[in-house]
A and B are shown apart, each in its own frame.
Chain A
Amino acid sequence: MSEPKAVILAQFGGPEELIQAAKKTREAGYKKFDCHSPYPIHGMDQAMGLKRSPLGYIIGIMGGIGLVSALGLQYWTSAVEYPLIISGKPFFSYQAFIPVTFAITVLFAAFGAFFGMLHLNRLPKLFDIRFNSETFGKVSDGGFFVSVESTDSKFDQSETTAFLQSIGASEVEFVEDKA
């Protein structure tokens, strides 16, 4: 993913306006755009035409790895490497191994959810070109923005600005990389 050199930020009045704007931006053929809001808005994925997050597969695979490695570790240590008879149980007493297997499965799945989410979002990424904007800070307060990146094939400073104004943006800002 190449970093955009510039971004056009358009501010909208509220969640309803943002959803409409997302639909229109997608219909106009833009691909590299995002809709920013202080909280997730229901129906935005459909409006932007986004596919379901693949995170579930990552979590499932991680949970599976946890399950197999926890059972494997317990089998190997209790039955192969250090076999001891404890309270007359078999070396591989799988019933007694369930609690630890369960805990490790959950642990790995949780790591999968956390690190998988960060990876898919390309985070941590402490600097983003949008942070050069004076007003973009409002997005974590009560602001609603559409941003179109310069890497989009349809991107054109004056045309895109005009387009965003035509779909009801209250303010449009051109943000450049200062470096």
Chain B
Amino acid sequence: MSKSTDTYKEPTLIQGNPTFESITNDVSGIVEAKTPKLWWVAFGAASSGAILLVSLIGYLIWEGTGIWGLNNPVGWGWAIVNFVFWVGIGHAGTLISAILFLLRQKWRTSINRFAEAMTIFAVICALIFPAIHVGRAWVIYWTFPLPNQMGMWPNFRSPLLWDTFAVGTYFTCSLLFWYVGLIPDLATLRDRAKNKLKKLLYGIFAVGWRGGNRQWKHYELAYLVLAGISTPLVLSVHSIVSTDFATSVLPGWHTTIFPPYFVAGAIFSGFAMVMTLSLIARKLFKLEHVITMFHLEKMNKIMLLTGMMVGYAYSMEFFIAWYSGNDYETFAFINRAFGPYAWAYWIMISCNVLVPQIFWFKKLRTSILVMFVASILINVGMWFERFVIVMTLHRDFLPSSWDYYSPTIYDIGIFVGSFGLFFTLFLLFLKHLPMVAMAEVKGILPQAQPHHHHESTEAAS
């Protein structure tokens, strides 16, 4: 049986024949080296954005949601668009860390750590928006089933409440999964730390890890199960987010295609974000041999696939609008494509359906510049997808109440600020934690698992 497997040669996942020690040096070296100037420039810009976010939220709480561009038919504006956008981005991280782990896709080890970090930071950004959108942000705890003096309990039949639980669970599980993966690598940093304070801090977070097989045994099972229970979350969280729309009785929203369509879109946008970040990170920190063209090409293929799934959903929505014979449904879609927001609709179609088609060509699929630009365009397109969906509200059943929604400077500022927060957290992560899962990468090196060695010696003797 072992003979038949000889014919298939596994692709080299990490280039340049590294040793265990060189992986440690390459990855920990980034954390230990002097902070590059460019990092400070980026951090300055990002943290200014985060400060902008915090101050605008302060003003919002002081003044109320009237500072936003919301109007009567459009009661949900950028806040919900941004919420869905950020939650969606997180999904690729979970897909990479959980589903690809269960499918034994070993190439994921080069990118899973920062894809997971991206998930956590994106979900943090996402959680801000519904919390501030409730208007009275100081009573947001009413969404939790806490005993209170009014004797009231949350309404568990509401999809908005499902969101609280779905996204809250998603955040917690992603954080635990990420942290469990970090423990052996934090131990590496602890063992290498020269400075007392660093040794203490990394030591505390490494919880005394000593790499014994009696520990690995429980650790591996915990990791496997966390991957297993995160897997349904990839599908469930965005499905539940889509029910915010789908359970309302509004033309354009009340459709059963929403959950799978949202999930595909989430993975699509998430991979685009992973791509943007990994291209920057591998360039900045010279990790081209760890995150190779092989990884990038695979991600592009996933984007091509999910992009077409999203394109299919767009066309199916139109087909059903016509096929249902429902005038309101038909109007909602014709209005999307040719109404006042046609510009947004066509941005969405071009970025999400047309742009990924370039990945059919190997030359374009393996060009760093092309994929970088494409990944940004896809993110723009996916933001517009949510915008287009929410803007269905602007022409409701009564033409006398139709209105056009425009964001105010506060809408824009809070959205820009959320990017500031995201990149602030991401830069801190790049600087202080190992951005590649060292223990996992070591485990997939050709010399790592004894059977390779074993079989070759047996054959020789």
Contacts and interface: CB of A to CB of B under 8 A. Distances in A.
Contacts of B306: none
Contacts of B187: 140
Nearest to B219: A117
B448 A39 contact: yes
A34 B213 contact: yes
Interface residues of B: mostly helix, strand, loop or mixed?
Answer: helix
B226 A87 contact: no
B235 to A, nearest CB: 11
A121 to B, nearest CB: 5
B145 interface: yes
Contacts of B216: 37, 40-41, 44
A45 B216 CA distance: 9
A124 B186 CA distance: 13
B213 A37 contact: yes
A117 B218 contact: yes
Please classify how large the interface on chain B is, using the bins under 10, 10 to 19, 20 to 34, 35 or more: 35 or more
B20 A100 contact: no
Nearest to B24: A141
B186 to A, nearest CB: 9
Given A16-B454, A82-B153, A141 B221 contact: no
Contacts of B209: 123, 140
Given A59-B225, A100-B156, A48 B213 contact: yes
Chain A interface category by residue count: 35 or more
Interface stretch (A72-80, A152-160, A163-171): A72-80
A78 B211 contact: no
Contact of A97 (B156, B172, B438): B156
Interface in B153-170: 153-159, 161-162, 165-166, 168-169
Which among A50, A125, A141, A142 has the highest number of chain B CB atoms within 10 Å? A141
Interface in B208-223: 208-222
B152 interface: yes
Interface stretch (B40-48, B77-85, B439-447): B439-447
Pick from B145, B151, B156, B215 the residue with the most CB of A within 10 Å.
B156
Contacts of A124: 204, 207-208
B221 A41 contact: no
Chain A to chain B: the 8 pairs with minimum beta-carbon distance, closest first = A142-B20, A117-B222, A137-B191, A34-B212, A39-B443, A77-B153, A124-B207, A140-B188
Interface of B: 19-21, 24, 145, 151-159, 161-162, 165-166, 168-169, 172-173, 176-177, 179-180, 184, 187-188, 190-192, 203-204, 207-222, 225-226, 229-230, 232-233, 236, 240, 243, 438-440, 442-443, 447-451, 453-454
10 contacts: A36-B213, A37-B213, A53-B217, A55-B221, A59-B225, A113-B180, A121-B218, A126-B203, A140-B187, A142-B19
